[in-house]
Amino acid sequence: MNTTALPIQDYALLSDEECDTRITAAKEKLGKRCIVLGHHYQRDSVFKHADISGDSLKLSREAAQSEAEYIVFCGVHFMAEVADVLSRPEQVAILPDMAAGCSMADMANKINVERCWDELAKVIDVENQVTPITYINSAADLKAFCGRHEGIVCTSSNAGKILEWSFAKREKVLFFPDQHLGRTTAHQMGIPLEDMVIWDFDKPQGGLTVEEIQNAKMILWKGYCSVHQVFQPEHIDEFLKQYPETKVIAHPEACFEVCQKADYIGSTENILKIVREAEPNTRWLVATELNLVNRLHDECKAEGKNVHFMSATLSMCSTMFRTDPQHLTWVLENLVNGVVVNQIKVETEDAMFAKKSLDNMLSVL
C-alpha cells in the first residue's frame, strides 16, 4: 500500500466535472468504509456527493452511529471535531480543507471562557449557580470545559430543551458563543430580556457590575455569526410591503429583532422541513445562508413556491465555502490509496470531557 500522500497541488486545477467523476469513482471503491456527511451550507458541487446531509444535530447523530471507518465531513472544523469525539477510536474524522473554520466559534476560546468563569466565581457561586452551555459551534476544548463543569452542548434545533435541562439543575446559564441563539431561545421560554446580560469578553468582569451578574438569569457571550448579522428587521418590512402574503422564517443565529418578526424560527434542517411541507404556491422570506436558500428555491419552484433570500446583500459562509470538489477529490483518492490526509483528532482528555457534554445533549433529545 502506498503511504505517500497525493499532493493537493495536483488537484487545484481540476475542473468540477472531472472532480465529479473522480469523487464518484473513489466513493465506489471505498464503499461502506467511507461516509461523506454534508452540511446544508455546502456549495452544490460538494453537497451532491454527501451520503447524508443535515443540520449540526442530525450530522452529530449520524457521526455517532456510523459504522464507517472514515467520516469525511463537508462542513466546518467544529463539526469534524464532534464527529471525532462521538465516533469510536478506530474511526477517522476528516475535514477536506483545514481552513474551513467558523468565525463565530472563534469568538470564544479556552482562555477567555476560563477567565470569565474565574471572574464570575468572585461574585457568585459558579459551580452551584451556573450551568455553562456551549453552542455546538465552538471548539472541542470549550465542549470539554462544559463537560468539566456539569454543563452541556446545544444546537440550533434543541436549544430550548437544553435550556430547560440547564435551569432544572441551576438557576443561571452562561451561554456561549452565540448571544442571538441564547437570547431568542431564552425569550421563547418566557425569560424577560431584563434578566439577560451580555458578557463582553474584551472587558474586565465582562463589562458588568456585581449586581448585574447577581441578578442575571442568562449571561450571554458577546459572540455572533457574521453571515446571519446581515439580516435586519427592515428587510422584512420592505418585503412584506410588496408581498404581504409572505411567510418569514429565520435561523436563530439571526438577531433578536429579525426572529421576533419571523413566523418561524428553525435550524437549517427545520427550515427545509417547514418550507418543503408548506402548501404549494406560497412565498417564503428566509434568513439563512445563501446556498441553502438557492437550493431550496430550485427544489420547490415546481410547486409554485417562491423562496427568497432575506437580504439584498448576498451573504455566504466563506468558511463553509472552503470545501470544494477539488479538496473532496483529494481526500477521497488518498483514502483509496490507503493514506489519511486532514484527520481531525481531538486531544484525549478534552475528547473525554467534550464527549460528556455532548452525551448530555444527546440524552436530552
- Residue ranges in contact with ligand SF4 by CB under 6 A: 76, 102-104, 137, 225, 227, 253, 289, 317, 319-320
CB of 253 to ligand SF4, least distance (A): 6
Note whether 62 binds ligand 13P by CB under 6 A: no
**Cis ω before 132 (30° cut-off from 0):** no
Q: Which does 267 bind (CB under 5 to 8 A by kind): ligand SF4, ligand 13P, none?
A: ligand 13P
Q: How many residues bind ligand 13P (CB under 6 A)?
A: 10
Q: Which does 53 bind (CB under 5 to 8 A by kind): ligand 13P, ligand SF4, none?
A: none
- Of the pair 253, 269, the CB lying nearest ligand SF4 is at 253
Task: Say what angle helices 140-148 and 110-121 make with each other, to 10 degrees.
Answer: 30
- Of the pair 22, 40, the CB lying nearest ligand SF4 is at 40
Note whether 81 binds ligand 13P by CB under 6 A: no
Note whether 315 binds ligand 13P by CB under 6 A: no
Longest pairwise C-alpha distance within the chain: 65
Which residue's entry shows cell 471505498?
30
- Of the pair 225, 354, the CB lying nearest ligand 13P is at 225
Residue among 49, 55, 73, 143 that touches ligand 13P (CB under 6 A): 55
Q: Which does 103 bind (CB under 5 to 8 A by kind): ligand SF4, ligand 13P, none?
A: ligand SF4
Note whether 253 binds ligand 13P by CB under 6 A: yes
CB of 63 to ligand SF4, least distance (A): 17
- Of the pair 68, 79, the CB lying nearest ligand SF4 is at 79
Q: Which does 360 bind (CB under 5 to 8 A by kind): ligand 13P, ligand SF4, none?
A: none
Residue among 158, 267, 315, 334 that touches ligand 13P (CB under 6 A): 267
- Of the pair 104, 218, the CB lying nearest ligand SF4 is at 104
Note whether 179 binds ligand 13P by CB under 6 A: no
- Cα separation, 58 vs 64, in Å, equals 10
- Of the pair 315, 334, the CB lying nearest ligand SF4 is at 315
CB of 327 to ligand SF4, least distance (A): 17
CB of 253 to ligand 13P, least distance (A): 5
Note whether 268 binds ligand 13P by CB under 6 A: yes
Residue among 19, 30, 116, 225 that touches ligand 13P (CB under 6 A): 225
Q: Are 44 and 20 in contact (CB under 8 A)?
A: no
Secondary structure of the chain in HEC code, one letter for each residue: CCCCCCCHHHHCCCCHHHHHHHHHHHHHHHHHHEEEEEECCCCHHHHCCCCEEECHHHHHHHHHHCCCCEEEEECCHHHHHHHHHHCCCCCEEECCCCCCCCCCHHHCCHHHHHHHHHHHHCCCCHHHHEEEEEECCCCHHHHHHHHHCCCEEECCCCHHHHHHHHHHHCCEEEEECEHHHHHHHHHHCCCCHHHEEEECCCCHHHHCCHHHHHHCCEEEECECCHHHHCCCHHHHHHHHHHCCCCEEEECCCCCHHHHHHCCEECCHHHHHHHHHHCCCCCEEEEECCHHHHHHHHHHHHHHCCEEEECCCCCCCCCCHHHCCHHHHHHHHHHHHCCCCCCECCCCHHHHHHHHHHHHHHHHHC
Give φ, ψ of 99 to 5 degrees.
Answer: -85, 0
Taking the CA of residue 246 as centre, how many other CA atoms within 13 Å lie in the half-sphere pointing to its CB?
Answer: 23
CB of 294 to ligand SF4, least distance (A): 15
- Of the pair 108, 341, the CB lying nearest ligand 13P is at 108
Q: Which does 319 bind (CB under 5 to 8 A by kind): ligand SF4, ligand 13P, none?
A: ligand SF4
Note whether 249 binds ligand 13P by CB under 6 A: no
* Site residues (vs ligand 13P, CB under 6 A): 40, 55-56, 137, 155-156, 225, 253, 267-268
